[in-house]
Amino acid sequence: MDLFVIRGGTPLSGRLPVRGSKNAALPILAASLAAEGETRLANVPALVDVTTLSAVLRTLGVDVHRDADGMLVVRSESNEPCVAEYDLVRKMRASVCVLGPLLGRRGTARVSLPGGCNIGHRPIDLHLRGLASLGADVRLEHGYVVATASSLLGAQIDLAGPQGSTVTGTCNVMTAACFAKGRTVITSAAREPEVVDLAHYLNAGGARISGLGTDVVEIEGTDGFAGVEHQVIPDRIEAATLLIAGLMTGGDVTLENVVPTHLTAVLDILRQMGAFVEIRGATIHVHAAGPLSSVSFVAEPYPGIPTDVQAQLTALLTLARGKAEVVDRVFPDRFLHLPELARMGADVRRAEGGAHVFGVKSLSAAPVMASDLRASAALLLAALSAEGDSILRRVYHLDRGYERLEERLAAVGGQIRRLTEAELSNCRPEELFSDHAPVREPHFAVTSPKSRGSRREQSL
């Protein structure tokens, strides 16, 4: 298992390109299994989650490969099998996004219920209720969702849950509704830019979806949609992560290839904390003239502060002046990063429904453990700000959602080495960041049940 050694204390400074959005690419990749003909996706990042979902699609009779230009090319070769097995789905919850496309295009789906998750309870009852409203027969059998529908019928569907709407649930129902007879109206739909990007992909292929970006989405059912070429939007969560990295290290960072309007709530709170934030077209420039001030916040559905940025903002608040209260309305228990931040000297306390953060002057390097994708990002940022060498273990969490992050941060001054435990134990501290220190590729590959024992799928 890879780990990072992070030598903190260097302000990050320079320009950073932002990769394509993981959370837009995954539902679009899933939907493309239902497209008539070939789909070509640009700006899909090379992530473990993309590799995992591609492996799921291959088990569903779908050809997925990257062409010489880096485009992800997808084409359904057959209409079966229609089973997304536990062995792969447990690796990534977003595999559940194949439910709606399978049901719409093939009339049948058998998808493993996603496994547990470190950020909290993650049911899919809203997905299932929405698909049943379209006329599907939906049952749970031995840990699998078994859904069948000889035909789907447009319906009025509300997707409000106790923590707001459901992003992937909206994606599943919206995609299935493209195959339903008549009109479907989804109320309490998720408004996230990633849902809008999926709708753009579907509409480009002939679907008729309106109300994009609002909580009322209407779909005029047709016989599905054709595969098209589509460029995935930039990753707003990665963008927020990189901006916070710049501020936590007292640096000066400019992001390229972002959509600033996808980050309004995050940029607002950074300004409230005292950061300099300048938007020019598709770039965002930030730096901090001095220590930032604490500002309390609530993570909530778009257009609010994203829950996927909550851990990173909490890390930033550990170095701000004063006290802040953090609440996460989407995943109320998404605070596994707190004890690890405390190991680095942060003064953070779990509180009813959230956390209290008391700013300290600086953090101190320490060995810490990643628990989930965004918590690992928060710990990386904290380590980059702390004097000394920190060790971040279980970076496989990070590889799920950030493409070669250590290399990109190194390009703006970050000192991060990717090692195995054995390499670490054989490496003297003075060698860690010497010029001849070898750079190691992130190593991830996913074997799908079919390919086990033969070719291991390479990262996509």
The gap between the terminal CA atoms of the chain, to the nearest Å, is 20
Q: Answer yes or no whether residue 212 interacts with ligand EPZ by CB under 6 A.
A: no
In angstroms, what CA-CA distances link 400 with 23, 92, 97, 373? 11, 9, 17, 7
Among 39, 54, 133, 168, binds ligand EPZ (CB under 6 A): 168
Helix (H) / strand (E) element for 424: namely helix 421-425
Q: Answer yes or no whether residue 331 interacts with ligand EPZ by CB under 6 A.
A: yes
Nearest to 239 by CA among 219, 260, 211: 260
> 287-306 as b/e, with b when 16 or more CB fall inside 10 Å?
bbeeebebbbbbbbbbebbb
Q: Which stretch binds ligand EPZ (CB under 6 A): 121-129, 206-214, 226-234, 449-457?
A: 121-129
Q: What is the CA radius of gyration of the chain?
A: 22
Q: Answer yes or no whether residue 59 interacts with ligand EPZ by CB under 6 A.
A: no
Q: Answer yes or no whether residue 284 interacts with ligand EPZ by CB under 6 A.
A: no
Task: Tell me: cis bond preceding 234? Omega within 30 of 0 counts.
Answer: no
Is 97 an active-site residue? no
Nearer to ligand EPZ, 2 or 49 (CB): 49
Query: How far does CA 199 lie from the centroid of its chain?
Result: 18
Q: Answer yes or no whether residue 262 interacts with ligand EPZ by CB under 6 A.
A: no
Nearer to ligand EPZ, 267 or 330 (CB): 330
Which pair of tokens denotes residue 207?
């679907």
Nearer to ligand EPZ, 246 or 332 (CB): 332
> 99-130 as b/e, with b when 16 or more CB fall inside 10 Å?
bbbbbbbbbbbbbbbbeeeebbeeebebbbbb
Among 127, 191, 337, 397, binds ligand EPZ (CB under 6 A): 127
How many Cβ atoms from other residues are within 10 Å of residue 277's Cβ?
19
Work out how close the CB of 114 gets to ligand EPZ at its nearest, in angstroms, rounded to a whole number. 8
Among 292, 330, 341, 344, binds ligand EPZ (CB under 6 A): 330
Pattern of binders to ligand EPZ over 384-403, x per CB under 6 A? -----------------x--
Work out how close the CB of 193 gets to ligand EPZ at its nearest, in angstroms, rounded to a whole number. 11
Nearer to ligand EPZ, 94 or 341 (CB): 94
Among 95, 184, 254, 307, binds ligand EPZ (CB under 6 A): 307
Q: Answer yes or no whether residue 308 interacts with ligand EPZ by CB under 6 A.
A: yes
Nearer to ligand EPZ, 162 or 453 (CB): 162
User: In sequence order, what E strands does 199-282 have?
Assistant: 208-210, 216-220, 229-231, 252-256, 276-280
Among 124, 199, 269, 292, binds ligand EPZ (CB under 6 A): 124
Nearer to ligand EPZ, 161 or 345 (CB): 161
Torsion-angle region of 135 (φ positive above 0: left; ψ -120 to 50: alpha; else: beta): left
Q: Which stretch binds ligand EPZ (CB under 6 A): 156-164, 212-220, 268-276, 434-442?
A: 156-164
User: In sequence order, what E strands does 283-342 have?
Assistant: 283-287, 297-299, 323-328
* CA 203/CA 197 separation, integer angstroms: 10
Q: Answer yes or no whether residue 167 interacts with ligand EPZ by CB under 6 A.
A: yes
With beta carbons less than 8 A apart as the criterion, state whether 331 and 164 touch. Answer: no
Nearer to ligand EPZ, 52 or 249 (CB): 52
| Residue 148 identity | T
Helix (H) / strand (E) element for 29: namely helix 22-31
Q: Looking at residues 69 to 108 of the shown chain, list those that interact with ligand EPZ (rule: CB under 6 A).
A: 93-94
Q: Which stretch binds ligand EPZ (CB under 6 A): 118-126, 220-228, 335-343, 417-425?
A: 118-126
* CA 78/CA 105 separation, integer angstroms: 11
Q: Which stretch binds ligand EPZ (CB under 6 A): 50-58, 117-125, 196-204, 207-215?
A: 117-125
Q: Which stretch binds ligand EPZ (CB under 6 A): 68-76, 120-128, 314-322, 408-416?
A: 120-128
Among residues 82, 97, 117, 171, the one annotated as catalytic is 117
With beta carbons less than 8 A apart as the criterion, state whether 163 and 329 touch. Answer: yes
Q: Looking at residues 22 to 41 of the shown chain, list those that interact with ligand EPZ (rule: CB under 6 A).
A: 22-23, 26
Residues recognised as catalytic: 117
List residues binding ligand EPZ (CB under 6 A): 22-23, 26, 93-94, 121-127, 161-163, 166-169, 190, 194, 307-308, 330-331, 373-374, 401
